[in-house]
Amino acid sequence: MRIAIIEDNMSVAKGIAYRLEDRGHATDLIHDGADADTFLQSDSNDLIVLDVNLPQIDGLTVLRNLRARGDVRPVLLLTARAEIEARVAGLDAGADDYLTKPFDMDELEARIRALSRRRAQPIETGHRFGPLVFDTQSRTLQAAGAALDLPRRELAVVETMMSARGRVVSKADLIEHVYGTGADVEDSAIEVHVSRLRKRLRPHKVDIRAQRGLGYRLEEL
């Protein structure tokens, strides 16, 4: 599952991201309400962790804008305010759940699991390409029913490419999905992952073809 973490406190945001990534999730970090409002109009996250107190645009406004667009993805609100009125305001704005700071990471994980189970629109549980299947719940790549042993970042690359269903995926999109939005990463880092992944996929009759100046796409051999 891919989770957007919108939190202006860098330490808190990174702490949540590290915990969720350790559990096999992919994350995007945004620290500003205006950036979040724009980002959420075209991202591919399955669930959103949203702080109420954000610079430029507050979290409740971001949430109201999200719901006004008809976006029904689960949203877990974070806030330092424990008053009933604050909780009611968040739920009325469209939040699915509410967590008061400071919180325990185990509780955060439990609430995310609960939200993922009752999400209004179930997400696709697998991507298929040729003989390969990427299970988005277990985050494993499978061939002939057996899971392939891949490093986390190579898994993120192949997930992105398989979800594109044979379309070209740019290096910029791969960097964003593998390292997170706004990551300062050279194209060469993705090229290394693609090169290693190509060698792992060819025995299963799937290749990664470079499209000069455009990016990469999967192709059956």
Task: Answer whether residue 121 shows pLDDT above 50.
Answer: no
- CA angle 127/48/94 to nearest 5° reads 120
pLDDT in tens, 126-154: 788 889 998 877 788 998 888 999 998 99
Q: Which domains does the chain have, with CATH numbers?
A: 2-117 (3.40.50.2300), 126-220 (1.10.10.10)
Q: Give the strands of the sheet with 2-6, arranged side by side.
A: 26-30, 2-6, 47-51, 75-79, 97-100
pLDDT at 32: 94
3-state helix, strand, coil in the chain (%, to 5): 40, 25, 35
Task: Answer whether residue 211 shows pLDDT above 90.
Answer: no
Find the mean pLDDT for residues 167-171: 89
Per the model's pLDDT, the better-predicted residue between 184 and 192 turns out to be 192
| Token pair for 38 | 């724009």
pLDDT in tens, 24-75: 899 999 999 999 999 999 888 899 999 999 999 999 999 999 998 888 899 9
pTM, entire model: 0.57
Task: Answer whether residue 117 shows pLDDT above 90.
Answer: no
Task: Answer whether residue 115 shows pLDDT above 70.
Answer: yes
Distance CA 196, CA 53 (A): 42
Distance CA 40, CA 13 (A): 17
pLDDT at 125: 62
Task: Answer whether residue 123 shows pLDDT above 60.
Answer: no
3-state secondary structure of 152: helix
pLDDT at 119: 61
